[in-house]
Structure 1
């Protein structure tokens, strides 16, 4: 839909609160009144951009997970790299999803799309955690949340060209070594000698 594409462009340029519905309508070539046939307000428009983003994100994560098979470790590491790639390739969606302040519970459709994306990483964590003794195994949701937080932090601090946050290392290296330290702490990969 042209209106969502316009909103994504404006979100990239001005942030999620830096544009009006009138601006989005004008950019899409429709009247401001036409917007209200599809969306109750700007928040609903941004929520739709976020929903679409989560759908794309889930597909990207699933593709990465599948391409990392048959090793659970390789599949898990691929999902971390996919997070970084998604943020770079779809910045408008990423901002709508994570920086707009729109709750994933804004609508059932958005909640479902978000859960689908989260589910891919949880499945990857669940498969990998089978290699940890049960008494030391974190719950898959916690395991995946740690990796999600690490991935999100690398994206926010070092991969989006935020002023004053240049790291002396590429974001991919930061993410890979961070995940490696975490997995080493869980005993999933051997310690460096």
Structure 2
């Protein structure tokens, strides 16, 4: 039976969807362009109408992931939380939720080895996601005098790393089912301890 062709942009979307499925099942390094083309129902040559190679296809998966990621974290932060601390913690929980719901995108973003500077669109998307954490950190530190205030970029990077660690150790795959505590509780406690140690939230908050 002949393969059905794709028209008006559908092929690009189909290739991204196929790549995300393969990444989720086989890892970012576990497939090639021929595999993606086969999954999308087209010839390998058709892939090059939209992507320069496998890395270009994965970079697009990562770009879309960072856009979704930033949207989720931005919504979490601006969701009417009663305090700067609870809003900041909400961004961490959004990180965990993203990794669970979009594993293919997550792996393309963080496990593919693709440079964030591969193309301008990917760089902008990743920077937008980073800025959500940075804005949250700046808001949280406003009560500390400027000359004693830790750099927002520093502690927002630490919280990003903490969130990423909880995802890797206790959320993704079978080991996550054996976490000593729910991942959300682990992250919330870790954020609270860290921020209080820096004096970024009052002890009684």
- One fold, TM greater than 0.5? yes
The whole-number CA distance in structure 1 between the counterparts of 2:176 and 2:142 is 40
The answer as to whether partners of 1:68 and 1:74 remain within 8 angstroms in 2 is no
* CA RMSD after TM alignment: 1.6
1:62 and 2:62 matched: no
The whole-number CA distance in structure 1 between the counterparts of 2:175 and 2:100 is 16
3-state SS, counterpart of residue 178 of structure 2: coil
Deviation, structure 1 residue 137: 1.3
The whole-number CA distance in structure 2 between the counterparts of 1:34 and 1:91 is 26
Match of 2:34 among 2, 14, 22: 22
Number of the residue aligned with 2:97: 85
Match of 2:114 among 98, 102, 122: 102
The answer as to whether partners of 1:22 and 1:32 remain within 8 angstroms in 2 is yes
Number of the residue aligned with 2:152: 140
Q: Which structure 2 residues correspond to residues 1-193 of structure 1 after superposition, within 5 A?
A: 1-69=13-81, 71-161=83-173, 163=175, 166-191=178-203
The whole-number CA distance in structure 2 between the counterparts of 1:117 and 1:179 is 19
Deviation, structure 1 residue 162: 5.3
Deviation, structure 1 residue 19: 0.5
The whole-number CA distance in structure 2 between the counterparts of 1:188 and 1:54 is 27
TM-score normalised by the chain length of structure 2: 0.89
- Residue by residue over 1:79-136, the C-alpha shift from the partner in whole angstroms, topping out at 9 and shown as x without a partner, is 0110010000100000000000001101000000000111111000011111223233
Specify whether residues 72 and 97 from structure 1 end up closer, same or farther in structure 2 by C-alpha distance, changes over 3 A only.
same
Deviation, structure 1 residue 165: 8.7
Gaps of 5+ in 2: 1-12
The whole-number CA distance in structure 1 between the counterparts of 2:73 and 2:176 is 29
3-state SS, counterpart of residue 78 of structure 2: helix
Runs of 4+ in 1 over 6 A off after TM superposition: none
The answer as to whether partners of 2:81 and 2:87 remain within 8 angstroms in 1 is yes
The answer as to whether partners of 2:171 and 2:177 remain within 8 angstroms in 1 is no
The whole-number CA distance in structure 2 between the counterparts of 1:31 and 1:146 is 45
